[in-house]
Chains A and B, each alone.
Chain A
Amino acid sequence: MVYLTINNKKIAAEEGMTILEAAKHNNIHIPNFCYLEGVHQAGACRICVVEVEGAKTLQASCMTQVQEGMVVHTNTERVKKARKVLFELLLSDHPQNCLSCSRNQSCEFQKLGELIQIDEFRFQGEKSKTAVDNSSPSITRDLSKCILCRRCVTVCNQIQGVGILNTQRRGFRTVIGPAENLPLNSVNCVFCGQCTTVCPVGALQEKDSLQEVWKAIHNKNTRVIVQTAPAVRAALGEEFGYEPGTLVTGKMVSALRDIGFDHVFDTNFAADLTIIEEGNEFLTRVRDAFNGKGAVLPLITSCSPGWIKYIEHVFPDEIGHLSTCKSPHMMMGALVKSYYAEKIGVDPKDMFVVSVMPCTAKKFEITRPEMRNGGYPNVDAVLTTRELARMIKDAGIDFTELEDSGFDNPLGLSTGAGDIFAATGGVMEAAIRTVYEVVTGREMPFEKLHIKPLVGLSQIKTADILIENPVDEYRFLDGVTLKVAVTSGLKGAKILMEQVQRGESPYHFIEIMGCPGGCISGGGQPRPVNDLIRQKRLEAIYAEDEGKEIRKSHENPFIIRLYEEYLEKPLGHKSHELLHTHYTKRGMSIEKIG
Chain B
Amino acid sequence: MSKVKEQCACKKETEEEKLTRIAEVIDEYKMKEGSLIQILHMAQGIYGYLPLELQCFIADKTGIPLSQVSGVVTFYSFFSTKPKGENTIRVCLGTACYVRGGKKIIERLKELLEIDVGDTTSDGKFTLEVMRCIGACGLAPAITINDKVYKQVNPDKLQAILKEYY
Contact = CB atoms under 8 A, between A and B. Distances in A.
B57 to A, nearest CB: 9
B38 interface: no
A590 interface: yes
A485 interface: no
Interface in A171-200: 177-180, 187-188
B65 A180 contact: no
B13 to A, nearest CB: 25
B60 A179 contact: no
A165 B114 CA distance: 38
Interface in A146-181: 157, 162-170, 177-180
B133 interface: no
Given A163-B65, A164-B65, A166-B67, A180 B81 contact: yes
Nearest to A589: B66
B67 A165 contact: yes
A74 B68 CA distance: 36
Given A179-B55, A590-B56, A170 B66 contact: no
Nearest to B56: A589
Contacts of A590: 56, 66
B71 A167 contact: yes
Contact of A187 (B60, B66, B68, B71): B66
Given A168-B74, A187-B67, 15 more contacts: A157-B68, A162-B65, A163-B66, A165-B67, A166-B70, A166-B71, A167-B71, A167-B75, A179-B59, A179-B66, A179-B70, A180-B55, A180-B74, A589-B59, A589-B60
8 nearest CB pairs, A to B: A163-B65, A179-B70, A166-B67, A589-B66, A166-B71, A179-B66, A169-B74, A588-B60
A188 B60 CA distance: 12
Which of B52, B71, B81 has the most CB atoms of chain A within a 10 A radius of its CB? B71
Interface string B39-62: 000000000000010011001100
Contacts of B56: 179, 589-590
A162 B65 CA distance: 8
Given A588-B60, A589-B59, A178 B66 contact: yes
Contacts of B91: none
A178 B60 contact: no
B148 to A, nearest CB: 27
B92 interface: no
Nearest to B64: A163
Contacts of A168: 67, 70-71, 74
B100 to A, nearest CB: 24
A590 B67 CA distance: 10
A164 B67 contact: yes
B69 interface: yes
Contact of A166 (B52, B55, B65): B65
Contacts of A164: 65-67
A560 B118 CA distance: 70
Interface in B78-98: 81
Interface residues of A, number: 19
Contacts of B60: 588-589
A590 B55 CA distance: 11
Contacts of A180: 52, 55, 70, 74, 81
B127 to A, nearest CB: 19
Nearest to B71: A166
B59 A166 contact: no
Contacts of B68: 157, 163, 166
Contact of B65 (A169, A170, A177, A589): A589
A187 B59 CA distance: 13
Interface of B: 52, 55-56, 59-60, 65-71, 74-75, 81
Given A179-B52, A180-B52, A589-B60, A170 B74 contact: yes
A451 B66 CA distance: 40
A168 B68 CA distance: 8
A168 B70 CA distance: 7
Contacts of B71: 166-168, 179
Interface string A295-309: 000000000000000
A169 B52 contact: no
16 contacts: A163-B65, A163-B68, A164-B65, A167-B75, A168-B67, A169-B75, A178-B66, A178-B67, A179-B52, A179-B70, A179-B71, A187-B66, A588-B59, A589-B59, A589-B66, A590-B56
Nearest to B72: A166
B67 A177 contact: yes
A168 B60 CA distance: 19
Contacts of A178: 66-67, 70
A410 to B, nearest CB: 46
A179 B75 contact: no
Contacts of B69: 179
Contacts of A589: 56, 59-60, 65-66
A516 B81 CA distance: 36
A559 B65 CA distance: 44
Contacts of A166: 65, 67-68, 70-71
Contacts of B81: 180
Contacts of B74: 168-170, 180
A507 to B, nearest CB: 24
Contacts of A170: 74-75
A157 B65 contact: yes
Interface in A39-95: none
Nearest to B74: A169
Nearest to B53: A590
A168 B71 CA distance: 4
B129 to A, nearest CB: 15
A14 B43 CA distance: 48
Nearest to A314: B63
A165 B71 CA distance: 9
Contacts of B52: 179-180
A478 B60 CA distance: 45
A528 B143 CA distance: 53
A177 B70 CA distance: 10
Nearest to B66: A589
A157 B65 CA distance: 9
A588 B68 CA distance: 14
A392 to B, nearest CB: 36
A188 B81 CA distance: 21
A163 B70 CA distance: 12
Nearest to B63: A588
A557 to B, nearest CB: 49
Nearest to B81: A180
Which of A167, A180, A187, A588 has the most CB atoms of chain B within a 10 A radius of its CB? A180
B16 to A, nearest CB: 20
Nearest to A167: B71
A178 B55 CA distance: 13
